[in-house]
Amino acid sequence: MNKEILTNERLGEQYIRVVHPSGLTILLCPMPDFATTYALFGTNYGSVDNCFKTDPQAEFTKLPDGIAHFLEHKLFESEDGDAFSLFAETGASANAYTSFDKTCYLFSCTDAFIPSLKALLTFVQAPYFTQQTVEKEQGIIGQEIRMYEDSPGWQVTFQLLEALYHDNPVKVDIAGTVESIAQIDADLLYRCYHTFYNLSNMVLSIAGKFDPDEALAVIEENLKPAEPKPIFFPPYTEPTEPVTSFAQREMDVSMPLFQLGFKIPPEEEPAAFLRQQYELEMLHELLAGTTSSFYEEMLRRGIINVNFCSEVFAGRGFLTSMFGGESEDPAALQQALLARIQEVREKGLDPADFQCAKNAMYGRMVRGLNDVENVATAMLNARMSGVELFDTVEIAASVTLEDVERRLCQLTPDVMALSVIRPRSRG
């Protein structure tokens, strides 16, 4: 196995990267002063990966929306029971999640790390699907989908994504729809599993109290290698402009919810894309963060409340600058934010404020290195984004005031949409 020690002199930190002959990337960060260990086994497969082929000459296969999430649920089942029973024997806490661009299986433990690691490697590499269990799961996930359909906070976000994106599958709920998951069968699950759960498409990340040599020995013993499988995705060009600039619906809320978003083309090169996100996060803080004059004015005028927040919503192939919360007059907030952006575009950002925002981001990243769960997750996320953990810190440290000011040109009315959930009409 190709074993490297990755170090960062600025931080005085290091971790181990191993590329297994199977193609699996293994990231190990021993933290002996901590009591817990956290491990994630993830694949570069999320809800946006809904069309693929493995042979360049073949036709693309269009997948039902929600199949990555469905597969995550089903993988916990085996012919002998479910994976949670394996972790019940070790005392570890296990879970999993599917996002737009990845699926991860994880556990946290204070003892019995080795048997817990064996359990993780065992169930993720042992798919077991039957048509009977698939049909049972369709009913369970259907209930989950309906629950989210009744969640105003969830719906205001996806309503915004539907308003912004024409073709990008990010506009579709991660769990899919009741209609789309009805198209899933056992054969299709196996095909997706053997395509996307190929070890060359996966990352295993571990941080905390453990012996890396012992962990590597267990990993070597429990991997089921397969030949690396190339995956091809269809090219698509997402139009610059939104589908619509405004979308609203009524639900059972006491005050209108809103999400305001700017649709931004993501940089193609991984490090440049990450830098773009950091620059926008700093810009958000300077434009409308809780210490900004804009935030204080909007609070004073009653246009927003303390639930107002912003997010750089980004992943493989998409990037949206989002501002959301509760407001009796979302349109007034929209106009005020556009005016604030124009003001900053004309006058520039305050250098001292920029340095504070940059220091705050850098400080959060450094503090995160003292958290076992954060380190394991950050190593995996960075690797799946095409960089390494220490690259993320260095990229953030290199952002300049001029970099952030240049991002203002991407927050324009022609790429913006407003999503509103209003209280139901009475009478």
* Domain harbouring 181, CATH code: 3.30.830.10
| Residues 377 and 411 occupy one common structural domain | yes
Q: Is residue 31 part of a domain?
A: yes
| Residues 172 and 258 occupy one common structural domain | no
Mean pLDDT computed over every residue of the chain: 95
Residue 30: pLDDT band (50, 70, 90) is very high
Query: So what's the pLDDT on residue 247?
Result: 98
Of 160, 190, 222, the last residue of a domain is: 222
What are 272-327's pLDDT values in tens digits? 999 999 999 999 999 999 999 999 999 999 999 999 999 999 999 999 999 999 99
Query: So what's the pLDDT on residue 311?
Result: 97
User: What is each CA distance from 4 to 29, 201, 228, 390, 393, in whole angstroms?
Assistant: 12, 19, 22, 14, 19
| Residues 20 and 132 occupy one common structural domain | yes
Query: So what's the pLDDT on residue 167?
Result: 92
| Residues 43 and 175 occupy one common structural domain | yes
Q: Left, alpha or beta for 386 (phi > 0: left; psi -120 to 50: alpha)? A: left
| Residues 182 and 263 occupy one common structural domain | no
Give the residue numbers spanning the domain of 382. Answer: 246-423
| Residues 198 and 344 occupy one common structural domain | no
Residue 227: pLDDT band (50, 70, 90) is confident
Domain total of the chain: 2
Residue 237: pLDDT band (50, 70, 90) is confident
Query: So what's the pLDDT on residue 62?
Result: 95
| Residues 87 and 200 occupy one common structural domain | yes
- Mean pLDDT calculated for residue range 406-414: 96
pLDDT at 263 over 90: yes
Percentage of the chain surpassing pLDDT 90?
92
Residue 427: pLDDT band (50, 70, 90) is low
| Residues 194 and 319 occupy one common structural domain | no
What's the whole-model pTM score? Answer: 0.95
- Lowest mean pLDDT across 110-114, 144-148, 397-401: 144-148
User: What is each CA distance from 115 to 127, 192, 210, 373, 376, in whole angstroms?
Assistant: 19, 28, 12, 19, 19
Active-site residue identified among 4, 72, 220, 267: 72
Write out the two tokens for 67: 């199949």
| Residues 136 and 78 occupy one common structural domain | yes
Q: Is residue 135 part of a domain?
A: yes
- Mean pLDDT calculated for residue range 133-153: 93
pLDDT at 92 over 70: yes
For strand 416-423 and strand 246-251, is the pairing parallel, antiparallel, or unpaired?
parallel
Query: So what's the pLDDT on residue 229?
Result: 87
Q: Is residue 234 part of a domain?
A: no
Q: Is residue 240 part of a domain?
A: no
| Residues 260 and 160 occupy one common structural domain | no
Q: Is residue 358 part of a domain?
A: yes
- The alpha carbons of the chain give a radius of gyration, in whole angstroms, of 23
Residue 226: pLDDT band (50, 70, 90) is confident
| Residues 282 and 316 occupy one common structural domain | yes
| Residues 331 and 393 occupy one common structural domain | yes
Query: So what's the pLDDT on residue 2?
Result: 79
Q: How far, rounded to the nearest angstrom, does the alpha carbon of residue 274 sit from its chain's CA centroid?
A: 13
Q: Is residue 49 part of a domain?
A: yes
Residue 86: pLDDT band (50, 70, 90) is confident
Q: Round to whole Å and give the CA distance between 36 and 29.
A: 12
Active site residue 72: yes
Q: Is residue 206 part of a domain?
A: yes
Q: Is residue 333 part of a domain?
A: yes
Residue 154: pLDDT band (50, 70, 90) is very high
Q: Round to whole Å and give the CA distance between 62 and 50.
A: 6
Q: Round to whole Å and give the CA distance between 310 and 285.
A: 8
